[in-house]
Amino acid sequence: EPEVTQTPSHQVTQMGQEVILRCVPISNHLYFYWYRQILGQKVEFLVSFYNNEISEKSEIFDDQFSVERPDGSNFTLKIRSTKLEDSAMYFCASSDPPSGGELFFGEGSRLTVL
Amino acid sequence: GDSVTQMEGPVTLSEEAFLTINCTYTATGYPSLFWYVQYPGEGLQLLLKATKADDKGSNKGFEATYRKETTSFHLEKGSVQVSDSAVYFCALKTGTASKLTFGTGTRLQVTL
């Protein structure tokens, strides 16, 4: 069964460092998403991406964050200068089509900022 | 804005017990409702969904009915198994928007 894969599964970084989280969506999906979950809190929407551009983003997704689809398979989330409060589990998801389609999630990347 | 409220966890049950995890929502328009499950070490998986009032979603013995009058989508299972131990997330999305709004998740622990 096709699945969304994420790397790394866990990353520890120092505050102020840049982090790139990588995702390989399901191959025929066209819509991609990032969510995050701070420990003990809700799963929060960050951004959705379609046709090589951001289609929607939340207030959380400020200038520190960016997304990119650098090739035909990867979808990345970059955090330019990490803060302590960026520590969370980051989930990538993909779907096709979005309006009625199921979102398929990866296993998550745990980011710890020290 | 849209929001989802789930009962606090963890929920600990003995095998074969009846399960209810409460979920209520606030939304503009007519949302579609979902339950996602996260097993240990795995990603979020869609468990079931309902797209309009009075619809019942079901899968793997789990059921939830879309109740517009009470704005609820409670998850139930008649007889839980140890393998059902996981975190369960209630979620909604409205209109044609693809964004899901999640609850905080409820951890279920089933013991022998």
Q: How many helices (H) and strands (E) does chain B have?
A: 0, 12
pLDDT digits (tens, 9 = 90+) for A19-50: 999 999 998 888 899 999 998 788 899 999 98
pLDDT digits (tens, 9 = 90+) for A73-104: 899 999 999 999 999 999 999 987 654 567 88
Residue B96 has pLDDT above 70, yes or no: no
- Give the pLDDT score at B1: 82
Interface of A with B in 54-113 (CB under 8 A): 55-56, 91, 93, 95, 98-100, 102-108
Q: Does A25 touch chain B (CB under 8 A)?
A: no
Instruction: For residue B24, give the nearest of B68, B83, B61 by alpha carbon.
Output: B68
pLDDT digits (tens, 9 = 90+) for B28-65: 888 999 999 988 878 889 999 999 999 999 999 999 99
Instruction: Give me the DSSP letters along A18-59.
Output: -EEEEEE--TT--EEEEEEE-TTS-EEEEEEEETTEEEEE-T
Higher-confidence position of B5 and B95: B5
Q: What is the pairing mode between strands B11-14 and B31-38?
A: unpaired
Contacts of A93 in chain B (CB under 8 A): 44
CA distance A106 to chain B (A): 5
- Give the pLDDT score at A72: 77
Contact at CB, B100 and A45, closer than 8 angstroms: yes
- Give the pLDDT score at B98: 66
> How far does Cα A77 stand from its chain's mean position?
5
Contact at CB, A56 and B41, closer than 8 angstroms: no
Residue for token pair 């131990």: B85
